Structure 1
Amino acid sequence: MLIGALLIATWVILLIRYPLRAVPISLGALLGLGLVAAWVLWQERREEHLLAQLELRLTYDPAACPPGQPLRVTLDNHSSSPLQSLRWEVAAYSPGSSLNLVTSDYDAPRYRGPGDLQPNQRWESCAPVPPLRAGYRSSALEFQAERLQGSFAD
């Protein structure tokens, strides 16, 4: 923080003392900073748009999945870019309720998607059920993926 304050003070002194040289340089730096900010915003919106085109379904299906991993995960990539990585958190809701019944433990399972999923392809897997609040059964709950974070190839 001290270095930042020192840089700003130096910039103000140079701006006052040498305005004909400092103003064009400052405008150039400001333009460069604006271009970097615009590029970052564009990348974030592109990623949000591509994540919105993913269809991720979670169903409790102990008959089709191995023991210890009764949560069936189905991911469809409807975007135009290959999916490189995907992470998400699982939320569990009682039908008709908006209260998340998953307890947030540090030892909760981490949910990750496939390493590479081409456009218009499907990926299926099984995953463990997250730790739930006491008194709730997994078979009576609806599971949803939340807080998706992913990256796509260019």
Structure 2
Amino acid sequence: MLIGALLILTWLVLLLRYPAKALPISLAAVFGLGLVALWVVWQDNRESSQLARLDLRLSYAPDQCPADRPLRVQMKNGNDVPLQNVRWRVAAYAPGDSVNLSENTYSAPRYRGPELQPGADWSECVPLPPLRSGYRPQSLEFRAEQLQGSFAN
């Protein structure tokens, strides 16, 4: 913090003392920082739109999955580039309600997907997250939230 304040103070002194030399350099630095900021925003928007084209569905399917992993995950990569990795959290909601009934504790399972080629499908059975007491998984809707992932360039 002290170093940053010292740098800003030094820059202001140089700008006031030698404006003919410091002003063009300052404008070039601001332009460079602007380009870096635009590139970061563009990358973030690109990743968000790619994650939005990833079709991820969760369903409680004890008849199709083993007893210790009753949650069925189905994913389709709707992008034109390969998916390298993806992570998400599972949220459970009562129909028509907006309160997350899953407990995100430290011991909760971590959900990850595979590498997936464009247009490819993936299906897997995963364990349920810990639910608040009094709720049965048969009566809940499960959703993937906080999607994070990366795609090939």
Q: Give the structure-1-normalised TM-score.
A: 0.96
State the alpha-carbon separation in 2 of the partners of residues 9 and 16 from structure 1. Answer: 11
State the alpha-carbon separation in 2 of the partners of residues 96 and 4 from structure 1. Answer: 50
Identity across aligned pairs (percent)?
Answer: 61
Pairs aligned (count): 153
State the alpha-carbon separation in 2 of the partners of residues 18 and 109 from structure 1. Answer: 60
Offset of residue 104 of structure 1: 2.2
What stretches of structure 2 of length at least 5 have no aligned partner? none
Equivalences for residues 1-154 of structure 1 within 5 A: 1-114=1-114, 116-154=115-153
Offset of residue 67 of structure 1: 2.5
State the alpha-carbon separation in 1 of the partners of residues 48 and 81 from structure 2. Answer: 13
Task: Kindly provide the CA deviation profile for residues 59-97 of structure 1, in whole angstroms up to 9, marking residues without a partner as x.
Answer: 111222123111000000011111111111111011222
Moved over 6 A (4+): none
Offset of residue 126 of structure 1: 1.0
Letter in 2 for 1:78: G
Task: Kindly provide the CA deviation profile for residues 16-73 of structure 1, in whole angstroms up to 9, marking residues without a partner as x.
Answer: 1111110011011001000000000000000011111011000111222123111000
Q: Give the structure-2-normalised TM-score.
A: 0.97
Letter in 2 for 1:108: A
What stretches of structure 1 of length at least 5 have no aligned partner? none
